[in-house]
């Protein structure tokens, strides 16, 4: 910033408003010696005082500071944009690297052929890890089940050669089937390989006060959306 040019502009503002250096100084809460130094280019007022001058005398700060200030501001803004773009690119690169590092992952959605239920879910798996997320489960039976059960238990199973393997179990007490399903979600992260060479299913057991269970077995199927190899 050119101190002499700024000083000349401050002096012009003072003279245009018919103020002495002392009058101007009193309005700004400084000494007249400080005003004299500004106008002679020996010193600059604090930026907060510059803003007061501009606001009071209808002057733009950019005009007071001159083109050099605009250039510096533009450079700083450009540098910020470059840094932001670099961070975004770095994050994208890190994500891509992480995905590639977990090569062999398959991604898909989970569905059901059961007419009584609708289900929304997703899955990601490779030779050593499996992640399953079921976000929505809706009962489509002819009548709503508003019975308040003592306990409702849902179990995610994989079956092969008539042998069931329990992958995950969720339990809620004193709840109706409708309320249970309305708030249903299931997230499973396993270090075992499922490979889906067995039958995946979700079983729901609703126990009444006498511990008698109403059982729903929902067969699940997976459709691949993509794979990374």
Q: What is the pLDDT of residue 95?
A: 57
Q: Which stretches of the chain score pLDDT less than 50?
A: 68-73, 226-229
Do 115 and 181 lie in one domain? The reply is yes
Q: Residue 22 sits in which domain range?
A: 3-65
Instruction: Give the list of residues 6+ apart from residue 176 with CB closer than 8 angstroms, or none.
Output: 145, 146, 147, 148, 149
Note whether residue 168 is domain-resident: yes
Q: What is the pLDDT of residue 93?
A: 58
- Answer yes or no: pTM beyond 0.75: no
Note whether residue 179 is domain-resident: yes
Q: What is the pLDDT of residue 199?
A: 80
Instruction: Count up the domains in the chain and report the number.
Output: 2
Do 138 and 196 lie in one domain? The reply is yes
Q: What is the pLDDT of residue 224?
A: 62
Note whether residue 173 is domain-resident: yes
């Amino acid at each position: 910033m050119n101190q002499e040019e700024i000083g000349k502009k401050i002096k012009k503002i003072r003279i245009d408003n018919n103020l002495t250096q002392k009058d101007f100084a009193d309005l700004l809460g400084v000494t007249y010696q400080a005003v004299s130094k500004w106008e002679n280019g020996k010193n600059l007022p604090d930026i907060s005082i510059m803003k007061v001058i501009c606001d009071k005398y209808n002057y733009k700060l950019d005009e007071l500071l001159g083109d050099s200030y605009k250039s510096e501001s533009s450079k700083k803004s450009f540098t910020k944009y470059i840094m932001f773009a670099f961070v975004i690119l770095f994050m994208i690169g890190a994500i891509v690297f992480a995905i590639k590092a977990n090569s062999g992952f398959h991604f898909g959605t989970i569905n059901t052929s059961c007419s009584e239920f609708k289900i929304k879910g997703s899955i990601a798996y490779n030779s050593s890890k499996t992640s399953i997320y079921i976000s929505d489960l809706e009962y489509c039976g002819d009548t709503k089940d508003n019975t308040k059960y003592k306990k409702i238990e849902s179990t995610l199973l994989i079956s092969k050669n008539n042998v069931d393997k329990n992958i995950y179990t969720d339990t809620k007490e004193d709840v109706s089937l409708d309320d249970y399903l309305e708030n249903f979600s299931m997230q499973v992260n396993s270090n075992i390989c499922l490979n889906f060479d067995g039958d995946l299913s979700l079983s729901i057991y609703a126990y009444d006060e006498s511990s008698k269970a109403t059982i729903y077995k929902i067969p699940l199927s997976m459709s691949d959306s993509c794979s990374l190899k």
